[in-house]
Amino acid sequence: MSVRHALLALLNEGPKYGLQLQQEFEASTSNVWPLNIGQVYSTLQRLERDGLIVPVENGSPHSQKGFQSTEIGETEILEWLRTPPAAEPPPRDELVIKILVALQVPGIDVPEILQIHRRYMLETMQAYTRLKATVAEDDISLLLIVDAQVFRLEGVVRWLDIADARIRQQTNNLNSLPQREGER
């Protein structure tokens, strides 16, 4: 997730100060992704350094320093919103790594490991589905987050099912190979 671009988008709405940006970011994500205030201010410093925002004075000597987007910043946010994410190598996924490691450990029942994780993913999907039933229809941010989680989990369950089928097929193929004279 790009905190840089999220803050820049919020500043496109008009001048804001750091704490306000933190609160609006968290509200826009239905408080699912907390944002450290230190990260907000360090991001604002980089945005200012890069010419994407400028400080604004709000008249009072004791008031907080506000920022607003520049034309370059407005162009940057529009480009970011329209640009699909890069097709980078997949991130290190702990579940994938566990399954790959399980394949290498003698005596591990990999299909059992797959089923343990599959059950957990289904239980988690059910919890999100129950949560979705309690969310107000106008809380679009939380509904979209819950939908994204359910679909992501569905994908993981599908992957676990495919992994299970591939592993069982390979095991069946290995078991059906004719044994050599010394292996009988």
What DSSP string describes 63-78?
A: SPPEEEE-HHHHHHHH
- 105 or 181, which is more confident: 105
CATH of the domain at 66: 1.10.10.10
Residue 37, pLDDT > 80, answer yes
**106 and 73 housed in the same domain:** no
- Of 24, 57, 82, which marks where a domain is finished? 82
Are residue 57 and residue 115 in the same domain, yes or no? no
Report which of residues 64 and 44 the model is more confident about.
44
pLDDT the model gives residue 58? 66
Mean pLDDT for the chain? 88
Are 110 and 74 members of one domain? no
Do 50 and 100 share a structural domain? no
Q: Same domain for 106 and 40?
A: no
What mean pLDDT do residues 102-107 have? 92
pLDDT in tens, 109-150: 999 999 999 999 999 999 999 999 999 999 999 999 999 999
* CA dist., res. 131 & res. 181, Å (int): 60
Domain check: are 105 and 175 in the same one? Answer: yes
Q: Is 6 in contact with 80 (CB distance < 8 Å)?
A: no
> How do residues 149-159 score in pLDDT, each as one tens digit?
999 999 999 99
Q: Pick from 33, 55, 82: which residue ends a domain? A: 82
Q: Are residues 78 and 132 in the same domain?
A: no
In single-letter form, the type of residue at position 15 comes to P
> Do 125 and 179 lie in a common domain?
yes
Q: In DSSP terms, which residues pair with 68 in a beta bridge?
A: 54
**Residue 57 and residue 8 in one domain:** yes
88 belongs to a structural domain: no
Q: What count of other Cβ atoms lies within 10 Å of the Cβ of residue 183?
A: 7
Greater model confidence, 4 or 85: 4
Report the alpha-carbon distance of residue 20 to residue 172 in Å, rounded.
60
Domain that holds residue 41: 3-82
Q: 180 pLDDT exceeds 80?
A: no
Number of domains in the chain: 2
Phi/psi at 67 (nearest 5 deg)?
-140, 155
Q: Are residues 70 and 116 in the same domain?
A: no
Stronger pLDDT, 173 or 96, i.e. the higher one: 96
Same domain, 102 and 176: yes
Are residues 16 and 77 located together in one domain of the fold? yes
* Chosen domain end from 36, 51, 82: 82
Domain annotation covers residue 87: no
Decide which of 183 and 65 is more confident. 65
- Dist CA 34 CA 26 (whole Å): 6
Is 22 a member of any domain? yes
Residue 184 has pLDDT above 60, yes or no: no
pLDDT, mean of residues 70-90: 87
Question: Given CA atoms 138, 77, 43, 53 in this order, what sign does their dihedral have?
Answer: negative
